[in-house]
Structure 1
Amino acid sequence: MQEVYITRMAKFLPYEPVSNDEMESVLGLVNGKPSKVRPIILRNNGIKTRHYAFGAGKETLTNAQLTAKAIEILYKDKEELKEMELLSCGTTSPDQVLPSHASMVHGALGIDPVEIASFSGACNTGMQAFKYAYLSVASGDTKNAVATGSERMSKLLTADKFQPEIDKVNEIESNGFIAFEKDFLRWMLSDGAGAALFQDKPNPDGVSLKVEWIDMTSFAGSLETCMYGGGVKEGSELIGYTDMTAEEWLNQSAFSLKQDTRLLGENIVPRGVDFLETVIKKRNFDTKSVDWFLPHLSSEFFRQKIHEELGRRNIELPLEVWYTNLSRLGNVGSASPYFMLEELMNEGKLKKGQKVFLMVPESARFSYTYALLTVV
C-alpha cells in the first residue's frame, strides 16, 4: 500500500441560498396549508440557508449535472480532466434507478472512457466513494481517482409528491397534513455536490491531505430501518416498492423520504460512539491529537448530544476543534463531509502537520465512517 493524498477539493452549490422563510414558497404548500412542524424543525436543526437545484424560472439541474459541475471545478480544463483514471460516486438521490449515478455523471462530463464505481444508500455513500478512490490509488491500481458525494433531494420534497396521499386521507377524514415522519425531512435536506482528487503524490505547492486511514461499519444486523425511501414500514419490516401496487406508490407517498425519529434519537449517537471506541482501540488513536474535528451533523440538535456522549466515554474532542457548515449549507447528505473539507482546504485554514478527523453517521440503518487525514 502506497501513500495517498487528497490534492484538490471542489464543491458546486446550485443557485442562491434559500432562507427559512423562503423554503415553503420553493417546495410548495401541501394541501395548500403551511406545515405545522416546519418552525419547530428549523428551530432545532439550526439551518439558516440551503440550496435547491431548481426554483421559479430556473433550469432544474439533475444530480448528475450537479456532480459533473463539481468535478469540472476540480480540474483546470477539459484536457486535464482527461487524465482522470477512476470516477467514484456516492449519492442518496440518483436521478433514476438505472443507469448508475456514476454512469450518468460520466455522460454529463462527456469525456473519454474511464473506470467508474457507484455507491447507493444515504450519507455514507460519499465516504464509500471516498474510500474506494483511496484504495484504488493506495493499491497502485490507479495513480489518481476522483470521489464525489452529491444530492438533489429537493425534487423529492416538493408538495406535489404528497398530494395524492393527502387526497386519499381527506376521503376518510378532514386532516390535510402529512405524517410527521415525512414532513420532518422536508425541512432538513438540500442540494449540492462535492468532489475530491486523490493522487499518489502530494501537491508540489500548497497543502495536501494525506489519508491515514478510513474505517466503516454497519449496525444493520441488530437495528431496524430508520430512514427510508421507495417503500413503507409495517411494524419493524420495510416493504419495498416492488412489493407494492402502483396505486399504493401514490396513496402512501412511497417514494418520499421518511424518518423514524424515535429510532434516530435512541441510536444514532450511542452507536456512533460505540464504533469510535472500537476505532480508537484498533488504530491506537489518541483523539487529543486532533486539530480539526469534522462531524457530519444532520441537525444542530445533535451537537451537544454527541459532545455529552463523548464526555461520558472519556473521549476528548473539545468543541473548540469542531468545524461544521450546517447552518449555511444545510444537510446535504453524502456531500456534507466534502463541503467541510473543501472549505478547510480552499480557504487557507489548514497548517502542515495538523490532524483532520471526520465522523459521518448514517441513520438509514445505522452505519458510520471515521477517517483521519494529515495536512502535508
Structure 2
Amino acid sequence: MSNVYITKASTYLPNDPVSNDEMEQYLGLVNNKTSKARPLILRNNGIKTRYYALDKNQNPTHTNAEITALAVEGLFDENFKKEDMELLSCGTTSADQIQPSHASMVHGVLKPGKSIGINTSMGLCNAGMNALNYGFLSVKAGATENAICVGSERFSSWMTADKFNHEVENLKLLEEKPIVAFKREFLRWMLSDGAGAFLLENKPREGSLNLKIEWIDFHSFAHEIEACMYSGCEKQENGSLKSWADYPSDEWLKQSLFALKQDTRLLDEFILKKGAQALRASFDKHQIQPEDMDYVLAHISSNYFKDGLREEFANVGLDFPVEKWYYNLSEVGNIGAGSIFIVTEELMNSGKLKKGEKVLLCVPESGRFAYSCALLTVC
C-alpha cells in the first residue's frame, strides 16, 4: 500500500462576498416582502458573508460544474499539469442535473485532452468526504499515482424567490398564513456556493508543505433515525420518504418536492450527540487521544452548534481546547460538501502548520445522520 499525501489544495468562491444585508438583493423577495425569519436565523448561525453564483437579477453566473472546474484549475502548476491527472473524484449535493454524473460534466469543462477515471459522490455534506475517500483508496491501493478530489455546491439557484413564490400561492389557497414554512426558509439563509479541491499523490512534494492522510472513517445511523434533511421526496407521517417519481407531475410544484427541507426538531436532538458517538468510535478504533490533535476542523452549519459540539465531544472524553478549533464559517458560509475542503485549504496555506502536527477533520451530515472523520499529519 502507498502512502497518500495532499500535496496541494485550491479553493474557488464565485463573485464577491455577499453581506447579510445584501442577501435578498441576490436571492429576491418572496411574495415581494422582506423575510421576517431571516434576522433570527442569521443571528443564530453567525454567518457574516457568503458567496453566490448569481447576479442581483437572480441570473446564474456559474454552473456547479464550472465552479468545481475552477477550483481544480488552481491545482495545476509546473509540477503537476492538467494532462498529468489520472482520476477526478467529485462530491456535491447540488449537481446541475440528475444525469449525467457531476464528475462527467466537470471532466467536460476541464478538457484535459485525454480519458481519465471519474467518480461522483452524491448525498449531502459527506459527499465531499466520500469523494476524498475514493481518491485516497485509489492512490493507496496503487490503482493510480494521483487523484484530484473536490467538494462543491451551487445552492443559490435553489434558493431564489421564484422557487418559493408558488408555495406561497398554495398556502393562500388553503387559507393559511402567506409565509413559507420555517423548515424551508431556515435553509435559505444558511447555504452558499463554492468549491475546494485537493491534489492527492503517492509521494510528498519536496520543499513544500504536505498533509499525509492517515485514515478516513464513516459512520451511519440510518438504522436508528429517520431522515432529517431531504429533497426530491416528501416525508410521510410514519417517517418514510415518498419519492417524487411516485407523485403526479402536477404535485411536484404544489408540494415543493424538489426543495431542500430540514426537520429542525430531529437536527437539534441528534446531530451533536451522534457526532460525538461516531468520533469516539474512531478514536477507539485507531487508539489515539484528544491531546494528540493540534487542530480540529469540524464542519458546522451554524455557529449555534459550536459550544454544544465541544460539550458533546467532552462528554465522551474528547475534550479539545478552544484554541485547537479552526473555523471559517462566518466568512465563507455553509458550503455543504465543499466546506471541509475549503477550511482545510485555508489552514494549509495559512503558514501556521508545522511538520509533525496532527489535523483532525470532522463532517456531520444530517440527511439521515451520517458522519465522517479523517486524520492528517503535516509533513
Using the size of structure 2 for normalisation, the TM-score is: 0.97
Distance 1:80 1:140 in 2: 20
- Residues 79 and 195 of structure 1: CA distance in aligned 2, closer, same or farther (over 3 Å): closer
SS in 2 for 1:14: coil
The residue number in structure 1 matching 2:369 is: 366
Q: 5 Å matches for 1:77-92?
A: 80-92=81-93
What is the aligned counterpart of 2:260 among 257, 263, 270? 257
What is the aligned counterpart of 1:295 among 290, 293, 298? 298
The residue number in structure 2 matching 1:285 is: 288
- Residues 156 and 77 of structure 1: CA distance in aligned 2, closer, same or farther (over 3 Å): farther
Measured after TM superposition, the shift of residue 347 of structure 1 is 2.1
Quick check: 169-178 or 117-126, which moved more? 169-178
Distance 2:115 2:268 in 1: 45
Distance 1:347 1:268 in 2: 30
Consecutive unaligned residues of structure 1, counting only runs of 5 or more, are: none
| Letter of the 2:244 counterpart | Y
The residue number in structure 2 matching 1:64 is: 65
Distance 1:340 1:147 in 2: 15
Measured after TM superposition, the shift of residue 240 of structure 1 is 1.3
Measured after TM superposition, the shift of residue 163 of structure 1 is 1.3
1:134 paired to 2:136 = yes
Measured after TM superposition, the shift of residue 299 of structure 1 is 0.4
- Residues 43 and 78 of structure 1: CA distance in aligned 2, closer, same or farther (over 3 Å): same
Distance 1:114 1:281 in 2: 38
The residue number in structure 2 matching 1:22 is: 22
1:148 paired to 2:150 = yes
- Residues 78 and 309 of structure 1: CA distance in aligned 2, closer, same or farther (over 3 Å): closer
The residue number in structure 2 matching 1:49 is: 49
**1:124-148 CA-partner distances (Å, limit 9, x unpaired):** 0000000110110000110000000
SS in 1 for 2:74: helix
Q: 5 Å matches for 1:254-333?
A: 254-333=257-336
Quick check: 71-80 or 171-180, which moved more? 71-80
Measured after TM superposition, the shift of residue 30 of structure 1 is 1.0
| Letter of the 1:337 counterpart | I
| Letter of the 1:99 counterpart | P
Q: Find runs of 4+ consecutive structure 1 residues off by over 6 angstroms.
A: none
The residue number in structure 2 matching 1:185 is: 187
Using the size of structure 1 for normalisation, the TM-score is: 0.98
The residue number in structure 2 matching 1:109 is: 110
Distance 1:114 1:78 in 2: 19
Measured after TM superposition, the shift of residue 56 of structure 1 is 2.7
The residue number in structure 1 matching 2:35 is: 35
- Do the aligned residues in 1 keep the contact of 2:297 with 2:360 (CA within 8 Å)? yes
Distance 2:44 2:340 in 1: 21
Quick check: 202-211 or 55-64, which moved more? 55-64
| Letter of the 1:29 counterpart | L
Distance 2:212 2:79 in 1: 26
Aligned residues: 376
- Do the aligned residues in 1 keep the contact of 2:277 with 2:316 (CA within 8 Å)? no
- Do the aligned residues in 1 keep the contact of 2:232 with 2:259 (CA within 8 Å)? yes
| Letter of the 1:125 counterpart | A
Measured after TM superposition, the shift of residue 316 of structure 1 is 2.1
Measured after TM superposition, the shift of residue 350 of structure 1 is 1.0
- Residues 31 and 64 of structure 1: CA distance in aligned 2, closer, same or farther (over 3 Å): same
SS in 1 for 2:253: helix
Measured after TM superposition, the shift of residue 168 of structure 1 is 1.5
- Residues 212 and 78 of structure 1: CA distance in aligned 2, closer, same or farther (over 3 Å): closer
The residue number in structure 1 matching 2:219 is: 217
**1:141-172 CA-partner distances (Å, limit 9, x unpaired):** 10000000000000001110111121121122
Consecutive unaligned residues of structure 2, counting only runs of 5 or more, are: none
Distance 1:174 1:302 in 2: 32
SS in 2 for 1:309: helix
Quick check: 276-285 or 184-193, which moved more? 276-285
CA RMSD of aligned residues (A): 1.3
- Do the aligned residues in 1 keep the contact of 2:27 with 2:56 (CA within 8 Å)? no
**1:188-236 CA-partner distances (Å, limit 9, x unpaired):** 0000011000000001111100011110011111110000111111221
| Letter of the 1:299 counterpart | S
The residue number in structure 2 matching 1:355 is: 358
Percentage identity across paired residues of the two chains: 51
Distance 1:147 1:341 in 2: 13
Measured after TM superposition, the shift of residue 59 of structure 1 is 5.3
What is the aligned counterpart of 1:172 among 163, 171, 174? 174
The residue number in structure 1 matching 2:101 is: 100
- Residues 34 and 77 of structure 1: CA distance in aligned 2, closer, same or farther (over 3 Å): farther
- Residues 174 and 281 of structure 1: CA distance in aligned 2, closer, same or farther (over 3 Å): closer
Measured after TM superposition, the shift of residue 74 of structure 1 is 1.0
The residue number in structure 2 matching 1:234 is: 236
